[in-house]
Amino acid sequence: MSSFKESINYLQEKIKDILGKVSGEDITKLCKLLLKAKRIFVYGAGRSGLVAKAFAIRLVHLGFQAYVIGETITPPVRVGDLVLIISGSGETMPSVMTADIARDMKVKVIAVVGEERSSLARKADLAIVLSAHCRDEHKSRLAPLGTLFEASAWILLDGVVAELMDLKGESEEKMKKRHATLQ
């Protein structure tokens, strides 16, 4: 089997296991917090940041006011807003500092993390843990570095988008109308 096919099969199997451990109760809490927030701010470093940006785009398509922390046009966070931070280790200094600042401002913090006992998870009002630890000999070749966490986070948040669509009575047609026209 080619490395490509072997990797795809491996990723699908592992991500299914990782996401299967996420509780429906946590997803319900997450959606309630998102729906209650005045505005949603997302953050992540590296590839986790790309996942955060993708989620922010979908939130905008759903009609939320969503921003990416660190972008030049991002407004200041205020009471009533929500900050969602993605970090595999839960120890990335900018991510932990972002949570500290948000908490000091009395803003709700959601963390999507790979480590349940991480600093970021402990600082969050809600931590969704995607434990991507596996000790098999294939991981380093088929899903190097943070691949399992990042891919799981992307799929998790796309599933949250589907849940939010149902809760808001949104359709793909409505979302298309909010899609950027200049790209």
What CATH number does residue 129 fall under? 3.40.50.10490
Domain count, the chain: 1
Nearest to 84 by CA among 115, 117, 54, 116: 54
- Please report whether residue 93 resides in a domain: yes
Domain that holds residue 53: 22-170
Residue carrying structure tokens 């088929």: 142
What's the whole-number mean pLDDT along residues 132-159?
A: 83
Of 150, 163, 172, 173, the catalytic one is 150
pLDDT in tens, 155-180: 999 999 999 999 999 888 888 788 87
> Among the listed ranges 21-30, 93-102, 133-142, which one has the minimum average pLDDT value?
133-142
Query: Given a cut of 80, is residue 133 above it in pLDDT?
Result: no
Instruction: Please give the pLDDT value at position 25.
Output: 97
In a domain, residue 34? The reply is yes
Q: What is the pLDDT of residue 154?
A: 97
- Which of 58-62, 70-74, 142-146, 164-168 is predicted least confidently? 142-146
- For the chain, the average pLDDT equals 91
Percent of the chain past pLDDT 90, that is, above it, reads 73
C-alpha–C-alpha distance, residues 159 and 136, integer Å: 27
Any domain includes 40 = yes
Could you confirm whether 71 is annotated as catalytic?
no
Higher pLDDT: 135 or 97? It is 97
First to last CA, the chain: 38
Does residue 17 sit within a domain? no
pLDDT for 144: 66
Q: Which two tokens stand for residue 40?
A: 């949603």
Residue 91 pLDDT: 95
- The residue to which tokens 């991981």 are assigned: 139
Tell me what pLDDT residue 183 has.
58
Tell me what pLDDT residue 6 has.
86
Task: Judge whether 104 lies within some domain.
Answer: yes
Residue 74 lies in a domain: yes
User: What pLDDT does 1 receive?
Assistant: 62
Mean pLDDT of 19-48: 96
- Residue 181 has a pLDDT of 65
Which neighbouring-strand residues pair with 110?
A: 84, 126
| Mean of pLDDT values over 94-112 | 96
The arithmetic mean of pLDDT across residues 98-105, rounded, is 96
Helix (H, G, I), strand (E, B) or coil at 136: coil
